[in-house]
Amino acid sequence: MGGKPPAELEWLRNGDIIQGSYSISGRDSSSSISFTVRSSDNNAVYTCAASNPLTPIPLVAAIKLSVIFPPSFITIEGPSEGNRGETITLNCRSDVSNPPAELTWLVDGVTFEPQDTTFHSVENGWYTTSNLTAIITRQ
């Protein structure tokens, strides 16, 4: 970015100042950031702000990151035993992911359709819940 005097450049992540590299060549100034993208960067807004003593309001450019990542774990809650003829409900929940995880129920290698699957939006992605209700049989 050019200017006289050269612009001072500042990087922000979600409104908080972060360190970037900065260089000036004549009237041109430039800045960059380099980082390893993590799941916590999903939906983060990175902003570059340029100002000099003659700019009352900084010029800004921003980008919102969309990070693709799988859930790191899933959990199943519900009874681990029951009596024959009893109806039980199991609940499966994924950790945060982007896009939302698709959950599949397998019982002895056979795929079953869940009765209720819900995708929940949270700050940096989605978590998925799925319920399976079954009647305990002799088999």
Tens-place pLDDT, residues 12-36:
999 999 998 878 777 778 889 999 9
pLDDT in tens, 46-57: 999 998 888 889
pLDDT in tens, 72-117: 999 999 998 889 999 999 999 999 999 999 999 998 899 988 889 9
Q: For residue 94, what pLDDT is reported? A: 97
Q: For residue 54, what pLDDT is reported? A: 85
**pLDDT beyond 90 at 6:** no
Angstrom distance (rounded) from CA 98 to CA 126: 6
Q: What is the DSSP letter of 109?
A: T
Angstrom distance (rounded) from CA 50 to CA 11: 9
Q: What is the DSSP letter of 28?
A: E
